[in-house]
Chains A and B, each alone.
Chain A
Amino acid sequence: MRERITRLRARTDLRLHGEHGVALVLALVVMGSFSIMIAGVATFMTSNERSSARDRDVARALNTAEAGLNNALAVLTQQDSTGTSPIGSTLSSTSFSIDGGSGTYSATKTSALEWTISATGTSPNGSVTRKLELKLDGTQSTQSTQQSPVYGYGFFVNATTGCTTIAGNSPVQVSVFVRNDLCLTGNAAISQPGVTSNTLTVYVGGKYTATSNPYVGVSSQRIKTFTAVGGCQRQSSNVICSTPGQSKVYSNAYSSTPSAVTKPTADSAGVYASGNWRNPVCSVGSFTFDNDTTLNASLGSVDLLQSNGRPSFDCTVWSPSGTTQIGRLAWNATTAVITISGTILIDGGLTFSGQSLARYTGFGSIYANGPVTTSGQAAICGPPAVPLGATCVGNWDPAQGALSIVGLNGWSMSGQSEFNVIAYVNGAFSATGGAVVTGPAITDTATLSGNGKFATVTTVPPGTPGAASSVTTTTWNVLPGSWRQLTNA
């Protein structure tokens, strides 16, 4: 029994100390370890790939959202360019895409000059979305332009060559400014009105020439200043301006110093671009300001009142966007009253024929893209004057209402007409017979042979070239420090 146990123990010991098959077990263990390692590497590799791809998507989503903010900036600075949109206004959510990415932007006006913009951007594969916010701040500045000094003269001629001729028997009783020569002939004169003295200014950029019996001021009523840069000539002989006995110029002061004052420019293209002239909004009747979409004098000549036979109308012209009123022109055929406000443009000449008799109310200007002509017995009277025949009864008070007529291609008056308006003329101004403009006449060249009767105005109506203006400009900029990234809801 003991021997059997001893043999069994010896056999067991032998087996336990044997190494057959150990290599296979070891190989299986190593392979298992390798498998775990491979799985780990694969997991890491996949994770790294995913992370790298996400980095790219995050960058693209962020840049897309940035593009959304900038798109909103571009839109808001146009839609609220004046900063006048009310608080609470919104820019509705707008979709956009850029380089495969997509997004939306929207905005709300949070204060008088501040917009809060938010934008989202999504990567091209749609896996990442980013949301950004930004504030847009506005600053306003106002630039005021004073009224052109030319309106301080009743008669202003801008030409620098040739001679501005004044003939006729009635004296001109306003301040005169001509940049070229001034030629007075016959019994023409420039004199103080009524019993006044020392108020008028006469400026001649060239030479003052008097032929026959003209005079400037009289010894008992001298004008304030007389300037003749090129000297004086009387009866074809040079004379000393400041010696009234020779020149017949009676002034309290004499000068030969040139002036830099020039005629203001009429921005007809700008006025045309400012309004939708082809489609006025008329509450009464109709009126054609333009029949196409080009400033080309396509209407020919427009008889504004048709000798008071034109039917009543009340038309307003708005800006092309329809948000701003540019001007209103109305005619009441029953009461013979013209109502004007703002700026009006007629793409053609302007005629006042025969018995065109009216008074006007309001302040405004009418641009005529063609010649302005008057004839016969026309009368346009400013408040409080009223027409009676071919004249205006009462004295026009420009403070109660003023009308500027801007003739873009000359101005010709004949007959016995009277116009209580401010005449601004590109080209030649001609007044013959008894025709008179009682406001200032600002022109390139002029010929007066009738009863020149001009007046100055303190304030010219809006829209008149050289009128005083005040322009408020709003500048929009991103508020520093307002950029932030929001959590995705």
Chain B
Amino acid sequence: MAMGVLAIAISAQLAVFASSYTSLSRASMKGTAVTVADKQMETYRTLPYSCIYLASAGGDGTYTGDSAYSASQVTGSSCSPNATPATSATTASQTVSGPDNRSYRVDTYIVSTTPTGGRALKKVTVVVHAVNSGVVGNVLAREASTFDQAQG
């Protein structure tokens, strides 16, 4: 009788620990994904307006399947007289290693948009996917903002 009760208690305990581990792990990944997205977005905040562009607008099905994708993205190759931005800022789709040493895929979309009565802005959307054993998984985090020339 006592062994039965103990067995049930320990089984429940193990189940809870297992699901807790999974949940904590996933929350940790999401938190890291937000950090990765923040880092990518902050990169654009340090760049002159003319340097906010993608080297190439294309990508795989995951990239083009996102709602932020547009066939007419802002592309370029230089922003003279300013220094050419780092490759990480101009790469549409890239896999990076997070601070937790896990892999994350960062998809960046840059399109031109014009608010009513205003001038053209660049809208940047950053989408971070989980990568498990080389397979691109669900969206963990996404951020979007706009950039005006007056920011520098």
| Interface residues of A, dominant DSSP | helix
| Residue B2 CB within 8 A of the other chain | yes
| Residue B46 CB within 8 A of the other chain | no
Binary contact readout A91-104 vs B (1 if CB under 8 angstroms, 0 otherwise):
00010101101000
- Residues in B with CB closer than 8 Å to A52 are 27-28, 30-31
Inter-chain contact A34/B9, CB cutoff 8 Å: yes
Give B92-115 interface residues, CB cut-off 8 Å to A.
Answer: 114-115
Q: What band does the interface of chain B fall in when counting residues whose beta carbon is under 8 Å from A?
A: 35 or more
A51, B114: Cα distance in complex, Å: 35
| Residue B16 CB within 8 A of the other chain | yes
| Residue A301 CB within 8 A of the other chain | no
Q: What's the least CB distance linking B127 to chain A, in Å?
A: 9
| Residue B57 CB within 8 A of the other chain | no
Q: What's the least CB distance linking B46 to chain A, in Å?
A: 13
Give A10-31 interface residues, CB cut-off 8 Å to B.
Answer: 23-24, 26-28, 30-31
Q: What's the least CB distance linking A388 to chain B, in Å?
A: 55
Nearest neighbor of B5 in chain A, beta-carbon distance:
A27
Q: What's the least CB distance linking A419 to chain B, in Å?
A: 44
- Residues in B with CB closer than 8 Å to A477 are 150, 152
Inter-chain contact B12/A49, CB cutoff 8 Å: no
Inter-chain contact A24/B123, CB cutoff 8 Å: no
- Residues in A with CB closer than 8 Å to B27 are 48-49, 51-52
| Residue A73 CB within 8 A of the other chain | yes
Given A71-B118, A78-B117, A59–B144 Cβ distance below 8 Å?
no
- Residues in A with CB closer than 8 Å to B118 are 71, 74-78
Inter-chain contact A45/B145, CB cutoff 8 Å: no
- Residues in A with CB closer than 8 Å to B41 are 63
Inter-chain contact A74/B68, CB cutoff 8 Å: no
A-B pair count, CB < 8 Å, reads 134
- Picked from A30, A41, A48, A64, the residue with its CB within 8 Å of the CB of B6 is A30
Nearest neighbor of B4 in chain A, beta-carbon distance:
A27
Q: What's the least CB distance linking B98 to chain A, in Å?
A: 14
- Picked from B6, B24, B119, B152, the residue with its CB within 8 Å of the CB of A77 is B119
Q: What's the least CB distance linking A93 to chain B, in Å?
A: 13
Give A61-107 interface residues, CB cut-off 8 Å to B.
Answer: 63-64, 66-67, 70-71, 73-79, 94, 96, 98-99, 101
Inter-chain contact A74/B115, CB cutoff 8 Å: yes
| Residue A7 CB within 8 A of the other chain | no
Inter-chain contact A59/B34, CB cutoff 8 Å: yes
- Picked from B2, B8, B116, the residue with its CB within 8 Å of the CB of A23 is B2
| Residue B78 CB within 8 A of the other chain | no
A63, B20: Cα distance in complex, Å: 31
Inter-chain contact B120/A99, CB cutoff 8 Å: no
- Residues in B with CB closer than 8 Å to A94 are 115-116
- Picked from B2, B5, B116, B143, the residue with its CB within 8 Å of the CB of A63 is B143
Inter-chain contact B145/A67, CB cutoff 8 Å: yes
Inter-chain contact B150/A34, CB cutoff 8 Å: no
A49, B24: Cα distance in complex, Å: 7
Inter-chain contact A26/B115, CB cutoff 8 Å: no
- Picked from B114, B116, B146, the residue with its CB within 8 Å of the CB of A67 is B146
Seen from chain A, the residues whose Cβ lies within 8 Å of a Cβ on chain B are 23-24, 26-28, 30-31, 34-35, 37-38, 41-42, 44-45, 48-49, 51-53, 55-56, 59-60, 63-64, 66-67, 70-71, 73-79, 94, 96, 98-99, 101, 136, 476-478
Can you name 7 A-B pairs with beta carbons within 8 Å? Answer: A27-B2, A34-B9, A71-B115, A71-B148, A74-B146, A77-B148, A477-B152
Known pairs A66-B146, A79-B117; list 10 more (Cβ under 8 Å). A44-B20, A51-B27, A63-B41, A63-B143, A70-B147, A73-B149, A75-B118, A77-B118, A99-B67, A99-B68
